[in-house]
Structure formats: structure tokens, C-alpha cells
Chain A
């Protein structure tokens, strides 16, 4: 297990490095105009522009820039932001933005785990009944309708009927967080409900359950001790990944409600050619997703000793 974890983590590190390199190279394919503000593009002479680029080290051969990037990364140095916040270390910018996204993400994750799994269980208990159909309609709606439309509907309802602020603000954090949290939770509730229902139905069709019934076990006990417990195993593999995913912040929700979180940072920093910041964020996001998958697999083996990761082949 330990040996497996070490190889797996080393592999993950290589993946992160490859991903960072690809994004690094793609960034260099952007026209350098994005390095300057619109005003600067018009006013600066060609020579001045070249000097600026030279000073930032952007005119060096790509290979040399790449080596410098690797070297800094090895020393744990993500560099300094160039455009979003001039000369502020990337780590500090992330530290500033991260808690905002994390708080909203964790709250909505907690809500959606509780509500989603509860909804899934209710649907199974009430299979083919009105509640099951209602849950299904909800799932279909969330899956099919573009999130932007759903968010807009939430916004309209929240602002008009409940009189909530339509933009996020630090001064009124509690009230203005309600709608973003609802938006973040809507789709993940549907997701968890759908998977809980599916795995529980799979489990219900197994032979050992008939034995449980035959020996006279009460339905409630069967549901909780056997079905839910076993259905939880595949479900738990997704949870770490989705924790890391949600605390990373949602681009759309944060843009939509004007939340100063991590989501918009990435797009903005690409748009303004802030290469150190982009690379820092990419390394962060890639590591989070790789670690999430890894933790999910580990948790699955902890929950269900029948699953072994050390064997070859696909573990999921």
C-alpha cells in the first residue's frame, strides 16, 4: 500500500509537470499584445514594448524560459504577478482569494451532500412513486437546462421574492452568499441524488438481499446496514475530488455574482498575459485534481477491503 501510494504520487507529479508545460507552451502562443493594457498598446513605441518584454524575460528562447520555470518550481517559488497585482507574489494573491471560494464551496458541498444523499435514499424508498418522479424531474432539469439559465432564474426569484442582494459584497456577506451557495449546490444535489439512487438500485438487485429478506430482517435495517453502506463505496470515490473541485471556485457562479474568488482569476490572468500567475494556478488546479482522484481511490479501499489498488488494471 505504501509502495503503491509512493509510485502513484510520483506519477501524479509527472502528470502535473506535463500539464504545466503544455499550458506554459500554449501561453507563449498568445500574441504579446495581451501583455500591455489597451492604452499602452496604442501609446508605446515598438522599441518600448520590446524593452518591457525583454525586462520581463519574455523575449528569451522558449526553452530557456521553460528551464527557468522548472527551476523556480523546484524551489517552490511561483514568482510574482505581473499584471493582476503588480509585483505581488502569486502565493499571496492565491492566499487572498482562496478562502472566499473555499468558504462558499465547503458550505455548498455540505448542503449538497446531505440533501443529495437524502434525496437519493428517499427516491429509492419511494421507487416509481411520486417522490421518485419528482426527483427525476429535478435531475433532468438541472442536467439539461444551461446553468446560466438556472442561475438567472435563482437570481430573479431570490431578488424579487426574497429580496436578497443580487451581487456579492463583503459588507453583507451572509445575505449575499445565499444565492451563490444555492446555485453552487443545485447541480451537485442532483448529482449526488442520481448516483446514490443508481448505486442503491444496483445493490438492491443483488442476491444476498433476498437472503436478508428471507431471514426476516426489517427493511429499515437492510436499507441502512447493507444497501446504503455498499452503495456508499463507489460514491465516496468522487467526494475528495469534488471537495477539491468546489473549493477551487466556480468560474461561472463567481462571475455571475461578482465574487472575488479563485474562479475568475484564471481567465483574467490568461487574458492579461500574467504568465507567473497562470502557471501558479495551473499547477495548483492540476495538483488538486490529481490528489482528489488519488484520495478517492484510497478512501474506497479503506471503506471496502475487498477492493485492492495494488493489482494491475483499472481501479475504478
Chain B
């Protein structure tokens, strides 16, 4: 008995440093997020597929035998079936389809990433102000209602016609200008909810600057909602781009994009299914993987799910 106690306990010399040491858990927000995320094998797989596809689109353009910029119409090759020379076949004007598909995928992803990023920044800034600054609540709510009450297609049509067709940067700016609404509303509702919690009141009373309260106390709660919104917004932007380009209100024919490809193929893909199948598979893979990825990441980044 005595020997066991000796094993378990031992005397320590008094040390002033150790007496002053403060205990803390080594919790780190981002490490927990990563841990939770990596636990989900399917999500990690999706991440690999998504990143792999984006990287492959560059490789695909590099190894393709034709460059998009130098494509020429050649009616002899119209509806050329996929083979060793033209991997995805040729479209109705006899242009190589492989480089068109990959290039338009890049255009879509680039646009979606830019719009998603812009939406995030604008939405978070406006949402924080909307939720935190009391006197701004009324004016921003009114602005939100005015933009939200008109079908977006009216604004988009008008802008497209005023600028006579949207170029890539104009399209980016336009989509951001209407995309921040949902993000801002989500952020605002959460900021509104957390701003007067006791811990924030205590923080304010201790003289923490507002910027620090927002960034350190409230922001971690926002991340999962922001990521969730982003996971929806990126496929949404790709959809909107295809719709607008299909209707002739989006990017011009000089920028190959999914909408333009599908518009050109609309009348032919019943007879030549490969014209639809290749772009459809690529865009479906991209949007679905990103959507699932975003959902998984949003779960992982919710601090309430952390141990």
C-alpha cells in the first residue's frame, strides 16, 4: 500500500514560477475546424475532386491540340464525333469542343469565385454594420426591401442593355451588387442575436474596442453561416451566368462560357448528345462537389460542434 502511494505521489519543491502559472486549454478555433473537417472522409474526397478538376482544366488546355483563341470555323468538320484528334468532337461550326468546354469551365469558376468573394466581403461588412449600428438598421432594411422586391431579372436586363451586353468585369460587379443581399441579411441576423449577449456586454464594459468585439467575439459564430452561403452562392452564380448568357443578356460570344456553349448546342444535342454530355458532366461535377464541400466545411466550422 505504502509503495503504491509512493509511486503515484511525490513531493515537489516549492517554485514561485509554477505557483503563478495559469491553466488554459490549448483550444484553437481553426485547428478544431480542420480536425472536424478531416474526420469526414467524403468531404476530403470532394475537396480532392474539386481541386483536381480545377487544376486539370489548366492541364487540359495546355495539352489540348487547339487553342481557343485561334479556333477557326470549318464546316467540313461540323459535328465531328469525338476521336483521337478532337477529344470532345467538334461543334456545329467545326470548332474543337475540348478547349471550349474547359475554357468555359474556367470562365465559370473564375466568375463564381470572384463574385463569391466579393459577395462575402460586401455582405459581411454591410451585415455587421446593419446588425451592430442601431441607427443604420432602418435605412439598410429599406434599401434591402427595394432591391429585393423587384425581380432581379429586370435589373439585370436593364444593366445588360445599358452597357450593351456584359463584359466579364461588368458582370462580376453587377452580380456582386445584387448578391450581397442574402449574405448581409444572414450576417445581420446573427450579429443582432449575439451583440447583446452577456459576454459581449462584459467585453464592452471592460473597454474592448468594437472592432475587436466583432472580430474576436462574434465572427467565429458567423463563419459557418458565411461558408454555407458561399457553398450555395458559387453554384448559384454559375447557374445565373448560364441563364443570362443563354438569354443573350450575359457574356458576349467572344468569351466562351457555359451558357453560350449550351445556347449554340440547343438545337443540335438531340442528334449529337456529346455536345451536351461533356459540358454537363464537367459543370455538374464542379457544382455538386463544391456544394457538398461547403456544407461539410460549414458544419465543421460551427463552434458549437467543437469539443
Whether B270 pairs with A160 at a CB distance below 8 angstroms is yes
Across-interface contacts of B279 in A (CB, < 8 A)? 149
Fill in one digit per residue for B258-281: 1 if any A CB lies within 8 Å of its CB, else 0. 110010011001100100100110
Interface string of B229-244 (1 = CB under 8 A from A): 0001001001100110
Query: If the complex has contacts A145-B284, A147-B243, A149-B280, are A140 and B149 also in contact, measured as CB distance less than 8 A?
Result: no
CB pair A153–B280 under 8 Å, yes or no, is: yes
Interface residue stretch chosen among B83-91, B153-161, B209-217: B153-161
Whether B145 and A15, one on each chain, are in contact in the complex, defined by CB atoms closer than 8 angstroms, is yes
> Which residues of the partner chain A approach B149 to less than 8 Å between Cβ atoms?
15, 18-19, 286, 289-290
Whether A251 pairs with B153 at a CB distance below 8 angstroms is yes
Task: Give chain A nearest CB distance to B295 CB in angstroms.
Answer: 9
Q: Which residues from B are CB-within-8-Å of A19?
A: 146, 149-150
Q: A267–B162 contact, CB under 8 A?
A: no
B151 interface residue, CB < 8 Å from A? yes
Does residue B283 face the partner (Cβ distance < 8 Å to A)?
yes
A2 CB–B CB distance under 8 Å: no
- Interface centre among A19, A29, A146, A271, by most chain B C-beta atoms within 10 angstroms, is A146
Number of interface residues of B (CB under 8 A): 39
Query: How many A-B contacts are there with CB distance less than 8 Å?
Result: 116
- List B contacts of A148 (CB < 8 A): 239, 242-243, 246, 258-259, 262
Q: How far is the CB of B78 from chain A (nearest CB, A)?
A: 19
Min Cβ gap B252→A in Å is 15
The reply on B292 being an interface residue by CB < 8 A is yes
Of A156, A256, A266, A285, the residue contacting B273 (CB under 8 A) is A156
| Interface status of A22 (Cβ within 8 A of chain B) | yes
Task: Across the interface, name the chain A residue whose C-beta is closest to B258.
Answer: A146
B249: Cβ under 8 A from any A Cβ:
yes
Pair B288/A23 contact, Cβ less than 8 Å: no
Given A23-B154, A285-B151, A286-B149, the answer on whether A149 and B284 have CB atoms closer than 8 Å is yes
Bound-complex Cα distance A26 to B243 (A): 22
Question: Given A145-B235, A160-B273, A266-B153, are A252 and B246 neighbors across the interface (CB < 8 Å)?
Answer: yes
Does B297 touch A at the CB level, under 8 Å? no
Q: Write out the residue numbers on chain A whose beta carbons fall within 8 Å of the beta carbon of B157.
A: 266-267, 270-271
Whether B158 contacts A145 by the Cβ 8 Å rule is: no
Contact A149 B242 (CB under 8 A): yes
> Contact at B243–A149, with CB atoms within 8 Å?
no
Judged by a CB distance under 8 angstroms, whether A143 is at the interface is yes
A153–B235 alpha-carbon span in the complex (Å):
18
Min distance, Cβ B278 to any Cβ of chain A, angstroms: 11
Chain A residue at minimal CB-CB distance from B271:
A160
Tell me, yes or no, whether B287 is within 8 Å of chain A by CB: yes
Tell me if B247 is interfacial: C-beta within 8 Å of chain A. Answer: yes
B291 contacts partner chain A, Cβ-Cβ < 8 Å: yes
The CA of A19 and the CA of B147, in the complex, are separated in Å by 9
Residues of chain B contacted by A289 (CB below 8 angstroms): 149, 151
Please, how many angstroms separate the alpha-carbon atoms of A171 and B155 in the complex? 35
User: Which of A153, A256, A271 is the one whose CB lies under 8 Å from B276?
Assistant: A153
Q: Which residue of chain A lies nearest to B153 when distances are taken between CB atoms in the complex?
A: A251
- Cβ–Cβ contact A145 & B154, under 8 A: no
Within the complex, what minimum Cβ distance (angstroms) separates B223 from chain A?
Answer: 21
Residue of B nearest to A314 (CB): B189
With A30-B161, A145-B287 given, is the CB distance from A22 to B246 under 8 Å? no
Chain A hits for B273, CB < 8 A = 156, 160
Known: A140-B292, A255-B247. Is A267-B276 also a contact (CB below 8 A)? no
Which residues in B have their C-beta under 8 angstroms from that of A29? 158, 162
A6-47 toward B: CB 8 Å interface, digit per residue (1/0)?
Answer: 000000000100110011001101110010000000000000
- Least CB separation from A160: chain B residue: B270
B239 contacts A146, CB within 8 Å? yes
Q: B115-158 toward A: CB 8 Å interface, digit per residue (1/0)? A: 00000000000000000000000000000011001110111011
Query: Mask for A130-162, Cβ within 8 A of B = 1, else 0?
Result: 000000000011011111110011011001100
User: Are A22's CB and B291's CB within 8 A?
Assistant: no
A146 to B284, CA, bound (A): 8
CA distance A277 to B149 in the complex (A): 19
Closest to B235 in A: A144
| 25 examples of A-B residue contacts, CB within 8 angstroms | A19-B146, A23-B158, A27-B158, A30-B161, A140-B291, A143-B232, A144-B235, A144-B291, A145-B287, A147-B243, A148-B239, A149-B258, A149-B283, A152-B265, A152-B266, A152-B280, A160-B273, A252-B243, A256-B266, A266-B157, A267-B157, A267-B247, A270-B157, A271-B161, A286-B149
A sample of 19 more A-B contacts (CB under 8 A), given A270-B154, A289-B149, is A23-B150, A23-B158, A30-B158, A144-B288, A144-B290, A146-B243, A146-B258, A147-B239, A147-B243, A148-B246, A149-B258, A152-B280, A155-B269, A251-B153, A252-B243, A267-B157, A267-B249, A270-B161, A271-B161
Closest 10 CB pairs of A and B: A146-B239, A144-B291, A144-B287, A144-B235, A146-B242, A159-B270, A148-B242, A144-B288, A270-B157, A149-B280
